[in-house]
Structure 1
């Protein structure tokens, strides 16, 4: 089912993350304004200079979009898109994405161009399509959520970037350092519909993005993960070199070949952690590290986000 009810002149309420540099910020602003001004489309562009102001900006603009029959739009990486999409879901307004991150899994999955001008042009003729999102303890995610090693990796990476600068080399070396450092294995009980599983692992990954699964080579391992489901992925316990090997196989798109990964699809799952009184755990949700209370309740929310999808993409799907 596709909901395409959208006024042709609906105003756009755009929340733009400033990014890493002044020139980049101005280029993005200018690209958006040039396309929309030339098209004669009404819009309100809010530039977020400080990441701590992102949630407040998203809430304010979601309220305005709903009150004026408009569309809430996020311009930035997956974390920015998640923060703004969260308010679109909460307020019930249509949502558009202008992906500007490193991997842009969400945008690529839905056929949204990484070229900013092209993505803005596509917004002008896009139709609204309800798409699936994930939820963990009520917090939505568009791409993935995880506990264990990955949140640790993200925290270490941000610390190293603050000290040595933001670059892919720094990010790679930081990840390598985290993987080769001692870290605790998780003892988990997974209760997903008709199955209960006890396992030990360094990290539990729950994905809502088939493209990401394909890139690390997991679609053959979990072919039953269908529309309407999330994918649970957990590597079996391994030493430091074993973990390094898993990362390398994932980078080569051959993770399923290792035989050292558990993966399956589900709609609802509860994750219990016998931490003997410790009920709070760090989780990475679309790249943002949060502290959540266990047990963790994951759920696939089908059609909950009213996403603007490029017209050409929608014709292919229909």
Structure 2
């Protein structure tokens, strides 16, 4: 889609998550401030020290960005980016990203450098592009949303990361441990385009990220994202190998192609309704959105948000 030139004097309102990244927060803050001051760019930077402060601080910064015609910027991993992007969508302000997480799917997909100083320099020379936003009930997701085994995997991965450190190797070992442990299968009723499907699966995964779909290796799902849809994939009740491949290659950043596609159920859609049949309508269900686990009301509605996010990112040719 065509780019819109970003105002060269727009103020950056930066939300920096102290818990993201591999370097000290003061080092990261100093680097961001040095680059922006060197470019004579106006900015306001707020550090989030406690995770439960993130939504409130992001909301406050979004309000200021919208009032000033500025750019709301998230400095953190995909979970931080999700929380800040939600406020950018709500308040209608432009959005920028300084990726600082373990996998950085969102930033990598849009050509944003993972090195902090390079990312800040890229922010200064970027233009605005519309980016597709996914919704599950009232929650935004930019990368993926899922139910079943994957939210459990994320919770256990966070515990292991606190003990053994943040790395893709630790994440992969933690995932293996979770997958090989006993777990229940979901009984789902899916409705898409007026058709109802019954499915038993350990996990149901909805993607909104081209890079992940490339790694899963199912070409129609990748094409669906390019066509303004979301893509869903779930291992069938038989075939642990398909589930293992999906979680390790699609959700955990390991490279490879999926050769067991017959063991997977796949769907592409603008809107899909999912009822977990083993739960009552009033029960809450764990849902992971961009790596953060929350509880939403069953049934779930996954859909493409009509109002797209305006993302400040480097031009594809540059």
Q: 2:257 aligns with which of 240, 254, 257?
A: 254
Is 1:305 aligned with 2:309? yes
Contact kept in structure 2, 1:82 and 1:286, CA below 8 Å: yes
Contact kept in structure 1, 2:20 and 2:77, CA below 8 Å: no
Contact kept in structure 1, 2:215 and 2:249, CA below 8 Å: no
CA shift, 1:89, in A, is 0.5
Which stretches in structure 1 are left out of the alignment for 5+ residues?
A: none
- Give the aligned partner of residue 188 of structure 1: 188
- Looking at structure 1, the residues matched to 114 and 9 of structure 2 have their Cα atoms a distance apart, in angstroms, of 24
- Give the aligned partner of residue 117 of structure 1: 117
Contact kept in structure 1, 2:242 and 2:260, CA below 8 Å: no
Contact kept in structure 2, 1:225 and 1:266, CA below 8 Å: no
Three-state SS of the structure 2 residue aligned to 1:33 is helix
Three-state SS of the structure 2 residue aligned to 1:190 is strand
- Looking at structure 1, the residues matched to 116 and 222 of structure 2 have their Cα atoms a distance apart, in angstroms, of 34
Once structures 1 and 2 are overlaid, which stretch shifts more, 241-250 or 73-82?
241-250
Is 1:171 aligned with 2:171? yes
Q: 2:297 aligns with which of 293, 296, 307?
A: 293
Which stretches in structure 2 are left out of the alignment for 5+ residues?
A: none
Structure-1-length-normalised TM-score: 0.90
- Looking at structure 1, the residues matched to 125 and 310 of structure 2 have their Cα atoms a distance apart, in angstroms, of 15
Once structures 1 and 2 are overlaid, which stretch shifts more, 15-24 or 155-164?
15-24
Specify whether residues 126 and 223 from structure 1 end up closer, same or farther in structure 2 by C-alpha distance, changes over 3 A only: closer
CA shift, 1:279, in A, is 2.4
- Looking at structure 2, the residues matched to 158 and 87 of structure 1 have their Cα atoms a distance apart, in angstroms, of 25
Report the count of equivalent residues: 314
Contact kept in structure 1, 2:279 and 2:298, CA below 8 Å: no
- Looking at structure 2, the residues matched to 108 and 165 of structure 1 have their Cα atoms a distance apart, in angstroms, of 22
Specify whether residues 249 and 17 from structure 1 end up closer, same or farther in structure 2 by C-alpha distance, changes over 3 A only: closer
CA shift, 1:84, in A, is 0.6
Structure-2-length-normalised TM-score: 0.90
